[in-house]
Chains A and B, each alone.
Chain A
Amino acid sequence: MMGERRALTPFQPTGPYPQVMLDLPTGTAIPLSAAARGERIVIAGRLLDGSGAPIFDAMIETWQADATGCYAHPHDPRAAGADPGFWGYRRVATDNDGRFLIETIKPGPTSPSDGGNVRPAPHVVVGIYGGGIPYRYVTRMYFGDEPANGTDAILALVPERRRSTLMARRDGNTYQFDIRLQGEGETVFFDV
């Protein structure tokens, strides 16, 4: 199966119009199925630049486990138990106010990494793309009201003063999660 070593294709920005791709009426724009198990939530936030101005030409994508913490992917040892009614991928363009809205279900605690026995706190992986963003940003949204945040191995790698930037605030069934690319309250981004 192995072939000749190949050099990576470099990243380039989406530019300001990722919506053109998202507008193609088939494919990944799958609405949250009525059959999905778990608590229905909305992730709502704004994407802001270093001056606090909204970023209106970006795309936010999310990847997460189902309500019991299973990923529908062969790498997850619990994949066989993944909810067939739920697909953990979402992507949306930001609007004129930099807002994004993602309807999903609240993920459960995922499997620990090999060699670990502490289950990670529930979280959503977030990718950010757009005009003026040459290489994607990766962050995580955690749920501010989860006691497991205190023992999460990834959160422990984040300087304590900055952890609050990863915490979504609950308001009814909505979790508010603003993303600041630069400056005061700058969101923590990960090198993966």
Chain B
Amino acid sequence: MSVTSDSSIYPRPAAGVHPPNTTADYRSSRLRHPKEPLVVIPHTPSELTGPAYPYGHLAALDADLTKQHAGEPIGQRITLQGRVLDEDGRPVPQTLVEIWQANAAGRYTHAKDNNRAPLDPNFSGAGRTLTDAEGRWRFVTIMPGAYPWPNHYNAWRPRHVHFSLFGQNFLTRLITQMYFPGDPLHALDPVMNSVPDPRGRERLICAFDIDRTEPDWALGFTWDIVLRGRHATPMETR
């Protein structure tokens, strides 16, 4: 691999793929977005490197959120799995995948979450794993609950799991949320709908997978995650 700072190998995401910095319906974004234009910069070694190595330390139970305490958490046991790929369909191996989520009642293990729903002493709601050589990852957890939030009258977040990924460098960093299929709250959610392209919103929804569902034990869901890619440029066509 040649070392180059040519931005064309990491093209900027097309307009409408990611949410804009603010939308009228996502209230807390109003005072939290810049009014000055972003300054476009070329990719230097500072962007083309990133916290890819080393990965830190993983504990054996980091990927099983149902076994981090003395007892089992309340809720529907589920498995989440999929692959991390780049835009050219290449697997992203050995990359850190982190998740966090509310408990089955829709409450986070966080002092500032004042949702009137019970905490679960057997559920912290955070997990971490590395992808394998084919970019595959897997978590065992419980189905998170929907929860109310103060964005507007009778606002409820659809059930979701937060994801954080690093990929190859600082440009490939992704933080997002994964939603569950068939949730009637999707159409009403200003966070999910901050993604302008309806096809983009679809890509945030995992799929129920009977083949990954384990008899007498857990429902399975699959979801592939696509990070920004190092595109082949015309110069590199072979």
Contact = CB atoms under 8 A, between A and B. Distances in A.
Chain B interface mostly: loop
Contacts of B99: 21
B192 to A, nearest CB: 7
Interface string A57-84: 1000001010000011111110000000
8 contacts: A12-B191, A17-B113, A20-B101, A20-B125, A50-B31, A89-B50, A115-B5, A191-B12
Given A12-B176, A55-B32, A21 B100 contact: yes
Nearest to A128: B32
Contact of A190 (B38, B197, B224): B38
A20 B110 contact: yes
Given A75-B48, A129-B175, A10 B18 contact: yes
Contact of B46 (A5, A29, A110, A129): A110
B208 interface: no
A17 B200 contact: no
Interface stretch (A38-46, A119-127, A143-151, A170-178): A119-127
Given A11-B18, A135-B18, A125 B46 contact: yes
Chain A interface mostly: loop
Contact of A9 (B46, B169, B191, B225): B225
Interface string B22-63: 110011111111111011111111111111111111110010
A149 B29 CA distance: 32
B88 A6 contact: yes
Interface of A: 1-21, 23-30, 49-51, 53, 55, 57, 63, 65, 71-77, 87-89, 110-111, 113-116, 120, 123, 125, 127, 129-137, 140, 153-154, 157-158, 162, 181-183, 186-192
Contacts of B94: none
B113 to A, nearest CB: 7
Interface of B: 1, 3-6, 12-13, 17-23, 26-36, 38-59, 62, 85-90, 96, 98-101, 108-110, 112-113, 124-128, 162, 164, 169-171, 173-177, 191-192, 194-195, 197, 199-201, 203-204, 224-228, 232
Given A73-B52, A75-B45, A23 B124 contact: yes
B5 A114 contact: yes
A26 B62 contact: yes
